[in-house]
Amino acid sequence: MATWNIIEYGAWALSALFGVLMIADWIKTDSTNSEEVLTSSREGELEAMSEDRRG
């Protein structure tokens, strides 16, 4: 049945589309933001505010 062949091609096309969308946005993001901003996240900033400490 030809329907399934079309679905197969559709799956290939959609996969490629999602891949292209991600890569395009990745390149755009990396070129429009400085590396310092992108990697500014630090672990524990939140915990330091919310943890209750005893002793």
Partner 1 sequence: MANTDITSKVMDGMGPHGTKVGLLRVLGPAHVWALGVGIVLVGEYMGWNFAVGKGGAYAALIACWFAGILYTCVAMIDSEVTSTVAAAGGQYTQAKHIIGPLMAFNVGLYLVFAYTMLEAGNAITAGYLVSVVAGMTGYEGVLDQRPFIILVIMFLAWLNYRGVLATLTFNLVITAVAFVAIIVLFFATSGIIGTGIMNHAALMEGQAALPYGTLGILAAMHFGLWFYLGIEGTTQAAEEVRSPARALPFGTLAGIMTLLIAATLTWYICTGILPWEFLGDGVNGSVAPLFDAARLSGSTGLVWLLGFGTLFATLASANGCINDASRAWFSMGRDRYLPKWFGAVHPKYRTPYRSIIFLVPIALIFALGAPLDQVITFSILSGLLGYTFMPLNVILFRRKWPLDSIKRGYEHPFHPLPAYVLLALCAITYVAVFLGYGTQLIAMILFYVVVSLWFHFWRYRFVNRGAQFTMPWPRPKGY
| Footprint of partner 1 (CB under 8 A) | 1, 3-4, 8-9, 11-12, 14-15, 18-19, 21-23, 25-26, 29, 33, 35, 37-55
Q: CB of residue 7 vs partner 1: minimum separation in angstroms?
A: 8
Q: How far is the CB of 43 from partner 1 (least distance, A)?
A: 5
The region that residue 44 occupies, defined by phi over 0 for left and psi between -120 and 50 for alpha, beta otherwise, is left
Q: Give kind and range of the element (H or E) at residue 36.
A: helix 35-38
Give the shortest CB-3-to-partner 1 separation in angstroms: 8
CA distance 26 to 12: 21
